[in-house]
Structure 1
Amino acid sequence: MTSAPDTIDLDPEILAAASESKAWPFEEARKIVARYKGGDFPETVLFETGYGPSGLPHIGTFGEVARTTMVRHAFRILTEDKVKTRLLCFSDDMDGMRKIPDNVPDPEALKPYLHMPLTAVPNPFGGDYKSFGDHNNAMLRRFLDTFGFEYEFASATEYYKSGRFDEALLNAAAHYDAIMAAMLPTLGEERQATYSPFLPISPKTGRVLYVPMKHVDAKNGTITYEDEDGTETTLPITGGRVKMQWKPDFGMRWAALGVDFEMFGKDHGPNAPLYDRICAILGGRAPEHFIYELFLDENGQKISKSKGNGLTIDEWLTYAPTESLALYMFQKPRTAKKLYFDVIPRAVDEYYQFLSAYPRQDWKNRLGNPVWHIHNGAPPAIDLPVPFALLLNLVSASNAHDKTVLWGFISRYAPDVTPETHPELDRLVEFAIRYFNDFVKPSKQFREPDDVEAQALGAISQKLGELPFDANGETIQNALLDVARGIERYQDHTKKSPTGGPGVSVAFFQMIYQVLLGQERGPRFGSFIALYGIDETRALIGKTLGSGAAA
């Protein structure tokens, strides 16, 4: 993503298109504008995202910041950049470690620290970071910085211990009964008997305690409870000695900081009215919400920081450019998405397709184009003569292990294209080799053609031999279709060919991919042949048919 600009383009055409844009960031931004009817905005409008550092950051965490940044930029357009904004990335790093994550080294070493604040748990990864929470916070900041996000990082531990929440906590003590009245009906009978919105940090064990309160003294700002060893203990609720349960903590933080916008996943949706109510009890105004659907792994399970399932941030960026990930976050945020390696190639190609379309669009369609939001209104001009999916097929067919081999094919296909003239394509070549070696190659499953398929492949080779060596992808694709139309197995009578006869079944091209490349599917095969070469494709067919070269 492009870093947030100091100034933004306020061309009258953009402003007019923005006022009517149906893109979801503009729809959310209009809610914030409507929040301050008459334009009576505060000095700063605050956008917030939350992060629970119980595990390493995953792509869903990044998605909240990326999407909130898009709404923030849309808000700047709608207000003609006359209102200051801030984006606060808040880490709940004072939460107790309820379970040991599955993906940490030496989990046994962390057992003595269960239920201690994450910033009091030793860092299992080694290095310069003092605690588990500090390490995970640093991993989040590193990635957000890589993307150029403009944000401020906030640590719950620092806010509680420095006294920044002291006033809000004293206010919560003064409204203790009202908070309990809001919370208790949402709990089961057993939980009601022990519930408290305040969680003391035991001065004896350092653990976050889930214990009932014996007394809450709002005047003196203290709570009294029974510690783990059975002794009655009184603690000031200020200075980081006490934190709030996570549901009241949402409302307290919103009221204390004056948050105007926060998005969260569908799993928080049922609790949102409760967060809002507690915020109101404490004299605040609940922010505008955006509830997005959850990310799933390839098995349809919710991705989890502690389980480490699904894709990590670093894994995506090993195989694809950052902008493709930002696109995946932009598209259909209210639809559940599977987040695993197979989605990467399509996201890459779709990003460049949107980028290619952008210069040809009017402002209405530009503001609906994901690349406008990904790049904060300034998409780059990039010429990409070869799609990522074709590069993957080229690696597959050529067995290339270094990019100089691939560039040999590309330069023949497009003589004026070089790594120097097209650095973005050069970057994709490296991504394609990595992705193929790690995910495509291990799963390739070639199958032997039956008699009909062997005859079809032979006919394809013969047809290709009749074409000029520099035939383009469209010409080659039409030649392939001509072959398929003459074979009864591949005729699709629900479709019509240009000549009025039956169309071609998708089974024809599935067969080609399965037999020649060991894959289930791929991009238009005519385009692939134009890139790989007619002679090379005929040799591939000949090798498959066991004749050395197809005549």
Structure 2
Amino acid sequence: MSDSRTAPLSDLPRAWPFEEARKLAEHVSTRGNASGGDDARPALLETGYGPSGLPHIGTFGEVARTSWVRQAYTALTGRPSRLLAFSDDMDALRKVPDNVPQRDMLEKFIGQPLSRVPDPFGTHESFAAHNNARLCAFLDSFGFEYEFASSTAYYASGRFDAALKRVLEVHEEILDVILPTLGAERRATYSPVLPLHPRTGEVMQVKMDAMDPVAGTVRWTDPSTGEVFETPVTGGHAKMQWKADWAMRWYALGVDYEMSGKDLIDSVRLSGRICKILGGTPPAGLTYELFLDEQGQKISKSKGNGLSVEEWLRYAPPESLGQFMFNQPQRAKRLYFDVIPKTADEYLAHVDKALSLQAENPAGAELRANPAWFILRGQVGTEAASPVPFGMLLNLASVANAETPEVLWGFIRRYDAAVSPETHPMLAAMVRYAVAYYADFVRPAKTFRAPSEQERAALVDLADVLRGYEAEAADATTLQNAVFEVGKRHAFEPLRSWFGCLYEVLLGQKEGPRFGGFVALYGVRETIALIEAALLRDRQD
């Protein structure tokens, strides 16, 4: 097993998780954190979650990407690791979400820790517990391996006590880092320590009047009543302001790796400085880009211009969502419905390649660089493959006006009698997704255009050529070559404009599959009828 501390980057599988795994391995070999610099303990990777809302597509992306780094780290070093899904459930409720019941009831708990806010759904002991349960169910549904951690539980149990006392020892140094980043009004009341009000339970954002690092207490004044309190920072009686909290957690737990979005670059830098002040080593990590909508605008929950996990999974399998997250995490990507078919087919293509690589060399670097190797957690099997691309199924659904999966299966069985939902479960899933996507997106957008005279002549020629294959079982490659030759014979320039004609005139859309494969699946006789119907429609119009 190669050791990433000495192996040059050029020797690693060419996939970004392996580059990140090397950074992690180097961090582990040199760390000097609260664990005493022990590089034998499991590497600790962390993801964060704010339970004021439900898990979303960004949550999936961060956990999936971190899991892939962990997978690469294991393959690279053979060393153990842990993934901690940390919920900041001691944070205060800042505002009432729009998508919950009993909003008036929640208004009474503004400023309270989320773990003390009643559950508006009435199913759990707190709002945080409800959303934490949803997080775990969400992650479990994708088969992620992780350990759940609650901020409230860690504070209350004393896991952070030593680190919190250390914060009091270096309080002024932390202020020197944070205060220059704040406005004048915020500077006047800022403290990295947030005591919980002993009467109201509110998370207090007030300046500390005094602190005792030995006793582990802070003294502060209630701005509403003028009353002075002395509060222990230990045992869950106080929490940290979030940038300082992040740093304290890295220090206390010895976090080795945590990735975060581009919008948190400054926060990562500040938290890293605070972690060093405490005596720890900031974790290695990756800064990933944020998602954009169809117009290239940043996705915002308030604008509602995003795409939810549930929406994606209505039209494509979870593995395809993994493919989207795997692709170039440091490049901004547009996340909208039109990317789903392309991403699904990209995933299927990687599965086919991975199966071939696995047969050639199961331990090879090229296989481990394949996205399917990560998405399938190293278990690349034929059940993940589909002999028919998703885009092809969409086009078949379009010309057949498929309302049910059975319509598509009629064509598929004629194309290959050995294929069935039982033998090809991924194809069965893709058929269901294709029918749903066709109904919601393809059918409403279908727009046929009339052919030009050049195109009409070529279509007549293509129909005649295809008649020569009615009596024989021509394969997709033979049919594709025949279509290609017709385009060349009629001098289409560039030649791709001939295929554009086929998509727009016959299928009513701008793009489509390899047309020879479509003919093989749909049927030669049926394709001839499709051409004749288009030519007749043009004359009638």
Assess same fold via TM > 0.5: yes
> Post-superposition shift, 1:61?
1.0
1:482 and 2:485 equivalent? yes
Give the alignment partner of residue 439 of structure 1, picking from 438, 441, 446. 441
> Post-superposition shift, 1:285?
1.6
Specify whether residues 418 and 46 from structure 1 end up closer, same or farther in structure 2 by C-alpha distance, changes over 3 A only. same
Give the alignment partner of residue 144 of structure 2, picking from 139, 145, 149. 149
- AA in 2 matched with 1:92: D
- AA in 2 matched with 1:26: F
Structure 2 match to 1:386: 388
Structure 2 match to 1:237: 233
Secondary structure at the counterpart of residue 207 of structure 1 = coil
Structure 2 match to 1:328: 324
C-alpha distance after superposition, 1:323-343 (max 9, x if no partner): 222222222111111222222
1:268-287 aligned at under 5 Å gives the runs 268-287=264-283
1:225 and 2:226 equivalent? no
* C-alpha separation in 2, matches of 1:112 and 1:448: 64
Give the alignment partner of residue 507 of structure 1, picking from 481, 497, 504. 497
Structure 1 match to 2:53: 55
Specify whether residues 233 and 269 from structure 1 end up closer, same or farther in structure 2 by C-alpha distance, changes over 3 A only. same
- Alignment root-mean-square deviation, CA: 2.9
* C-alpha separation in 2, matches of 1:102 and 1:164: 34
Specify whether residues 30 and 305 from structure 1 end up closer, same or farther in structure 2 by C-alpha distance, changes over 3 A only. same
* C-alpha separation in 2, matches of 1:347 and 1:258: 37
* C-alpha separation in 2, matches of 1:549 and 1:398: 22
Secondary structure at the counterpart of residue 133 of structure 1 = helix
Structure 1 match to 2:249: 253
* TM score, norm. by length of structure 1: 0.87
Structure 2 match to 1:136: 131
Structure 2 match to 1:4: none
* C-alpha separation in 1, matches of 2:143 and 2:300: 25
Gapped regions of structure 2 (runs ≥ 5): 32-37
* TM score, norm. by length of structure 2: 0.88
- AA in 1 matched with 2:41: E
- AA in 1 matched with 2:15: A
- AA in 2 matched with 1:85: S
> Post-superposition shift, 1:111?
3.3
* C-alpha separation in 1, matches of 2:223 and 2:497: 68
* C-alpha separation in 2, matches of 1:519 and 1:112: 54
1:386-465 aligned at under 5 Å gives the runs 386-449=388-451, 451-465=453-467
* C-alpha separation in 2, matches of 1:62 and 1:221: 38
* C-alpha separation in 1, matches of 2:272 and 2:326: 26
Structure 1 match to 2:294: 298
Conserved in 2, the CA contact under 8 Å of 1:175 and 1:282?
A: yes
* C-alpha separation in 2, matches of 1:241 and 1:407: 62
> Post-superposition shift, 1:389?
0.8
- AA in 2 matched with 1:371: A
> Post-superposition shift, 1:65?
1.4
Secondary structure at the counterpart of residue 315 of structure 1 = helix
Deviates more, 1:282-291 or 1:439-448: 439-448
Conserved in 2, the CA contact under 8 Å of 1:103 and 1:306?
A: no
> Post-superposition shift, 1:253?
0.4
> Post-superposition shift, 1:486?
4.3
Structure 2 match to 1:472: 475
* C-alpha separation in 2, matches of 1:476 and 1:178: 73
- AA in 1 matched with 2:180: P
C-alpha distance after superposition, 1:147-172 (max 9, x if no partner): 22211001112212232222221221
C-alpha distance after superposition, 1:432-487 (max 9, x if no partner): 11222222223333344455544443343333223335322223223333333344
- AA in 1 matched with 2:252: A
* C-alpha separation in 2, matches of 1:105 and 1:447: 49
Conserved in 2, the CA contact under 8 Å of 1:58 and 1:311?
A: no
> Post-superposition shift, 1:249?
0.7
Which one scores higher on RCO, CA 8 angstroms, separation ≥ 6? Answer: 1
Specify whether residues 154 and 399 from structure 1 end up closer, same or farther in structure 2 by C-alpha distance, changes over 3 A only. same
* C-alpha separation in 2, matches of 1:158 and 1:442: 51
C-alpha distance after superposition, 1:188-238 (max 9, x if no partner): 333222211122333444433332223333333233333352333422222
Specify whether residues 314 and 172 from structure 1 end up closer, same or farther in structure 2 by C-alpha distance, changes over 3 A only. same
* C-alpha separation in 1, matches of 2:125 and 2:219: 31
Structure 2 match to 1:535: 525
* C-alpha separation in 1, matches of 2:539 and 2:468: 15
1:77 and 2:72 equivalent? no
Conserved in 1, the CA contact under 8 Å of 2:174 and 2:274?
A: yes
> Post-superposition shift, 1:373?
2.0
> Post-superposition shift, 1:108?
5.3
Conserved in 2, the CA contact under 8 Å of 1:102 and 1:307?
A: no
Number of positions where the alignment pairs a residue of Structure 1 with one of Structure 2: 523
* C-alpha separation in 1, matches of 2:213 and 2:512: 67
Structure 2 match to 1:24: 16
- AA in 2 matched with 1:475: T
* C-alpha separation in 2, matches of 1:252 and 1:412: 63
Gapped regions of structure 1 (runs ≥ 5): 1-9, 493-503
Structure 1 match to 2:376: 375
Quick one: percent identity of the two aligned structures?
51
> Post-superposition shift, 1:283?
1.8
Structure 2 match to 1:501: none
1:173-188 aligned at under 5 Å gives the runs 173-188=168-183
Conserved in 2, the CA contact under 8 Å of 1:68 and 1:263?
A: yes
1:198 and 2:214 equivalent? no
C-alpha distance after superposition, 1:121-143 (max 9, x if no partner): 3434x252333322222222112
> Post-superposition shift, 1:49?
0.9
- AA in 1 matched with 2:188: A
